[in-house]
């Protein structure tokens, strides 16, 4: 009988893209893929270490999986595995801890070491361009992630990604186009370009704009979305493409992290508030209807009330449609974890600042949605829930319509009518 295997992903889109590829590598092997709640024999967990919550989530999941099947063998792979090696191997039922350099080889590793004792496989991550061995078909999602880049050379003070993911490196151009071709022919008509610092893409002199140009030519690809991109790395040509009628979604997620210069300096970010604002307003003026989103960290060591208010007021004024709010937490390898303890911000203060920003983000999303009411936008439909179909516009507005028809994976014009929570109700035309 086939052994049952399950996959679970924490963290970012890049992790999701990679889990899809790892899962594909088990196709045709001695495993049957099941949900982790269906008592699998082996579970591969692609971990995240961006905050201390991410770390705690891994432990909680390990306990949950053990309760379902006390004999399960667990593989913890990815970022947390790379930086917390031995600690993770001590968790019960964990038989493999595999870092980012070799996690794509999980199928072979399992095949070779299935009956061996605990395995710690976390070699140093090499800085060289790469290919991806399988096509990341994702039958759970309409839109698929496409990995184009990995790692980062920026070393922001709060971040341990350069340790967990290694230095910046780019995927070979032809390999990107090959996977995108297969994914789009298979019905993934929107691809989301993912990586750690994708604006720094550089493969033999080819840039992210060249990748966009190459993808533009794929017949079955309708939409290309850039996931998150560092503020200092966005070529003006990217904005120009959004303005012209190309396949590139009118959407930019640009992490600001703080809206106060002393905090940005302490974070070792590569821009001042003014430089960020100048670029954002350039993009906003060029494509006024584009969805602009950002990430912000609350409670970075030394962030005074005044500095936080600066950030709050800036985010209030800027034409953002939403923001993701992260509560600061020390990461072992990050420089800020070594800052003077006197600079630490109390947890309650962080919680209150986060609450205010999250509430502001919800208000801003509504304001952003309002400008589209009465307009017609194309919606790529994804799923049906409670008899209603839901999908997204290229500007990342979640749209819900009533329809008896099967709308899955169809790109249809919808008149946007009314705001409902963080989505918009529409009528099919």
For ligand SF4, the binding residues (CB under 6 A) are 152, 154-156, 159, 161-162, 196-197, 230
Q: Toward ligand SF4, which CB reaches closer, 154 or 339? A: 154
Whole-Å CA distances, 304 to 113, 183, 349: 52, 47, 10
Nearest approach, Cβ of 12 to ligand SF4 (angstroms)?
Answer: 10
Nearest approach, Cβ of 156 to ligand SF4 (angstroms)?
Answer: 3
Q: Toward ligand SF4, which CB reaches closer, 40 or 166? A: 166
Q: Toward ligand SF4, which CB reaches closer, 69 or 227? A: 227
Nearest approach, Cβ of 380 to ligand SF4 (angstroms)?
Answer: 28
Q: Toward ligand SF4, which CB reaches closer, 323 or 368? A: 323
Nearest approach, Cβ of 40 to ligand SF4 (angstroms)?
Answer: 32
Q: Toward ligand SF4, which CB reaches closer, 46 or 336? A: 336
180 vs 198: CA distance, rounded Å: 16
Q: Toward ligand SF4, which CB reaches closer, 134 or 154? A: 154
343 vs 158: CA distance, rounded Å: 14
Nearest approach, Cβ of 328 to ligand SF4 (angstroms)?
Answer: 12
Nearest approach, Cβ of 255 to ligand SF4 (angstroms)?
Answer: 7
Nearest approach, Cβ of 165 to ligand SF4 (angstroms)?
Answer: 8
Q: Toward ligand SF4, which CB reaches closer, 152 or 407? A: 152
């Amino acid at each position: 009988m086939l052994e049952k295997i399950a996959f679970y992903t924490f963290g970012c889109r890049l992790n999701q893209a990679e889990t899809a590829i790892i899962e594909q590598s088990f196709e045709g092997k001695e495993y049957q893929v099941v949900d982790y709640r269906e008592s699998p024999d082996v579970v591969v967990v692609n971990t995240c270490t961006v905050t201390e919550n991410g770390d705690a989530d891994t432990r909680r999941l390990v306990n949950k999986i053990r309760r379902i099947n006390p004999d399960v063998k667990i593989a913890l792979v990815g970022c947390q595995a790379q930086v917390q090696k031995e600690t993770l191997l001590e968790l019960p039922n964990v038989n493999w801890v595999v870092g980012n350099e070799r996690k794509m080889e999980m199928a072979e590793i399992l095949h070779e070491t299935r009956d061996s004792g605990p395995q710690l496989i976390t070699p140093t991550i090499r800085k060289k361009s790469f290919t991806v061995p399988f096509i990341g078909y994702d039958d759970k999602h309409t839109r698929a992630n496409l990995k184009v880049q990995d790692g980062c050379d920026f070393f922001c003070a709060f971040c341990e990604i350069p340790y967990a993911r290694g230095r910046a490196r780019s995927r070979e151009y032809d390999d990107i186009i090959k996977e995108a071709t297969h994914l789009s022919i298979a019905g993934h008509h929107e691809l989301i370009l993912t990586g750690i610092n994708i604006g720094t893409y550089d493969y033999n002199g080819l840039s992210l704009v060249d990748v966009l140009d190459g993808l533009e030519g794929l017949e079955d690809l309708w939409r290309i979305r850039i996931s998150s991109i560092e503020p200092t790395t966005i070529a003006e040509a990217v904005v120009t493409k959004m303005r012209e009628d190309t396949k590139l979604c009118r959407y930019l997620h640009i992490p600001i992290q703080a809206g106060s210069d002393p905090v940005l300096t302490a974070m070792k970010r590569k821009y001042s508030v003014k430089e960020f604002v100048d670029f954002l307003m350039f993009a906003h003026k060029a494509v006024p209807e584009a969805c602009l989103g950002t990430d912000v960290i609350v409670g970075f060591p030394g962030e005074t009330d005044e500095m936080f208010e600066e950030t709050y007021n800036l985010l209030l004024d800027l034409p953002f449609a939403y923001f993701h709010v992260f509560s600061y937490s020390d990461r072992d390898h990050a420089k800020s974890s070594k800052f003077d303890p006197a600079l630490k911000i109390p947890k309650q203060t962080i919680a209150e600042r986060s609450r205010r920003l999250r509430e502001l983000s919800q208000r801003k999303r509504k304001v952003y949605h309002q400008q589209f009411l009465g307009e017609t936008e194309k919606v790529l439909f994804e799923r049906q829930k409670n008899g209603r179909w839901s999908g997204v516009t290229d500007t990342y507005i979640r749209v819900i319509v009533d329809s008896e028809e099967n709308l899955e994976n169809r790109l249809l014009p919808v008149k946007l009518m009314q705001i409902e929570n963080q989505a918009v109700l529409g009528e099919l035309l």
